[in-house]
Structure 1
Amino acid sequence: MKSTVKLVVLLAFILGCSSMNAQDFYSIGFKTDTLTISKSSQIDVLSSINIESNVPDSDKYKNYNYTVSIVNDETTLAISDYKLIDFSKKNFQKNGAEKVYFLLNKDTLNDRERKIVLEIKIFDGDKEVTSNNKAKNKKITLTIKEHKAIENHISEYSYLSYVGTNFDLVDGIKAQNLFFATNIYLPNRLNKNKIGFYLSLYGNRAMSDIDSTGNVRRSYKLEKLTDSTYINYTAQSKMITNRVSDNIGAHISVLFPIFESKESADLKLFYAPSLEFIWRRTNLTQEFSEPTNLESNTVVGFIPGTIEIGASSRRQFNEYSFNAGILGLFLTLENADVSVRIQSSVGYSSNFYPRTSSNSSLITTDRSHDIFFAGRAWITEPRTGLTLQAEITNTGINPRPFFGVTLSKAFNLKELSGIFSPLTTRTK
């Protein structure tokens, strides 16, 4: 009897094993069971998660599919902080690989370490059959590292770039034209004598310089009368001259300490001799209006026909200035709340202007020597980076004032790398 029972049990075991071997088992799982991701304060972070599959070649699985879902009970990160990117149900593949993409939103707040658990679920039509999945890693734990947000404000004023606009205040406040600058300010760092260094590279537009002059007599039309005479029509007009200069410059100063506040290191005063090169592209426009006292007279000479002389003219030319600031002061007040820099210089100026020549193919320049004085002020609010800048430059012997007011956004030079980065960072 006992022998018969043992025989029946053995036969059942053999039949069970045969049945199991006859049944196909599939394997669809994550390549790894853990993945560590770091948050960013500035950009969303996109990560790819690899899925591997090994499915028997059988028509039995043609209606099977699988999906990736979040295990809510084991996840500690709010659902608003992340997203699975476009992962719908996938059909079975005999042998292959898929990816699911996980998007972690940027975060400007500090946060402790979090985790997200994902799992693969298998379906036969609408019926879940995950239990037959023989994959080793049916779940994956995404560890979101502890996050310390970077405060969005300027904490170091030594290396700053600015992008913004110039203001033209002549006809009311108008924001127009690009302003840019890069300033490097290194006080007390060059040697043991605490000599500092300041460099500024900039491009701006000076305010419009408008001059209105009356009692200008001009010819506005020449009309042929005979082969040897013509009529010259003249009028008394009001002449309006408008000068606008676009400037690109480079300024360098050596800083010798004069005063530093004993209560704090925020306030500093330097003796600052300087060198500066400025290239100016100047547009000069003249308009004649309100003509009065119209007259005409006959002039001996030949013209081919009637010549109308326009009521306006425009000329564009380049100028170059080299300024050596012999007497100069540089005052700074910089702390966590504000950065203020005031610079003044007086010294020698060498200026180069285009020379008027009847031969248009010959480009020559005239040189003049003068005494210049200049003043600049920069005020930066560190949390927004908003910077207001104003400057004035003039010469003493032949006065030619240039004024400029700009509003710009300041940022550290190291932030330039972010301009060339992708919008998302993909972690494999």
Structure 2
Amino acid sequence: MSKVISSAISPAVTTLENRFNEPKWAKQIRTEALAAYESMDLPKEDEGWRNLRLKEVPLDSLVPLADQKETPDSVRSRISPDAAGVLVHYNSDVTETKLNPDLASKGVILTSLQEAIAKHPDKVEKYFGQLYNTKESKFAALHYALRTGGAFLYVPKNVVIETPIQLFTYGDQPNVGIFNHTLIVAESFSQFTVLEYSASDLGGSNAIHSGAVEIFAADGAKVSYVILQNFDQGIYSFYPRRAKIGRDAEVNWAAAELGGKIARSENTSYVDGEGAQSNAVVVFFGSDEQSLDVSAQMIHTGRNSFSDILAKGVMGDKGKTIWRGLGYIKPGAKGSSTFQRENSLILSDGAKGDAIPGLLIEETDVAGAGHAATVGRIDETQLFYLQSRGISLKQAQKMIVEGFFGSVIELIPVESVRKEVQSLVDRKLGW
């Protein structure tokens, strides 16, 4: 596959370096990422990127930097007055940041990653890019070369935040590149929840989202990260989210992947500490002509660590999805356990779903390990039964899908997100 190079990227990197007056180490990351981008091909199908029609991604028309604007009303109306903190990444930059003053007095930091690099380099440099590096793919290189805005959240030792912190990612400029990077540092025994909403309004145009999330949970910390991804179908999104988990710490993922024309999302936990644990709950729904590649991975090195993955997906119209799950217990992770379950439901003849579960156990002393995955069509007997009771075909399909998703949606830890996910599922079903 031939290389794809946008003539706008190199000058954009220079513009960003000059605009932000970045320290040497941050500039070096940009420079190395640009070189990697220009030398790398698009990922090939045999590299785990199949089903994504990467030749369609409009890299040659990419607008690396958009004009900064005020936070749009469509985002502002979603900001909760009870949120502990709020950060809005709009197109190429952060347009709004708020943090409860009481939390700020306790040492909590919520700011754009760009500002954190300038004001808190001691808290950023040792973590930034440790879980996701520039050479993983062409899209990783693009992300690090053109990273702007983003979010940095630092929660000191023993600080417990009772209400969620809201992060918003929103795009509405045709061909814009959205390159937000979220870096979260949870010190020992801190506890908090982050809600991330991703959406766009491109009016039939296209744009590229290449983001990243890195979470570092120190010993005893507990972090919940909740994602509602509802980009419109002009977005090509590539979004790895990764966490490194310390002794007796816990990171839980809850993700609803519903939008994008092509969307590749990943939730990976490095369960490194003794007694550490991680759970992932994932809901995905591909409709129209969407292509979704959704994955969750639990990689254990800590003794007596635990992980669990539960995912459910639906495909309708000509939607295509691939689910990838991995439980990996490395040598030395004695007494650990990892489990995963995934079910996919196909609603139409034109839809397609694949499930690729995996277990890799390199330690003989484990507490347990297992995986299961199914892909099947909607049960015609159930449809017939409901219709024989006077229920229309459309209503019957809705009832079956709601029942299918229900056991997973109810595990999303925030009520407002549960309700919105159900509403968006209904909308995909034509209600």
Select the structure with the greater relative contact order (CA < 8 A; seq sep ≥ 6).
Answer: 1
TM-score tier after normalising by the smaller chain length: under 0.3
Larger radius of gyration: 1
Structure having the larger proportion of residues in helix: 2
- The TM-score, its normalising length taken from structure 1, stands at 0.20
TM-score by length of 2: 0.20
Which of the two has greater strand per residue? 1
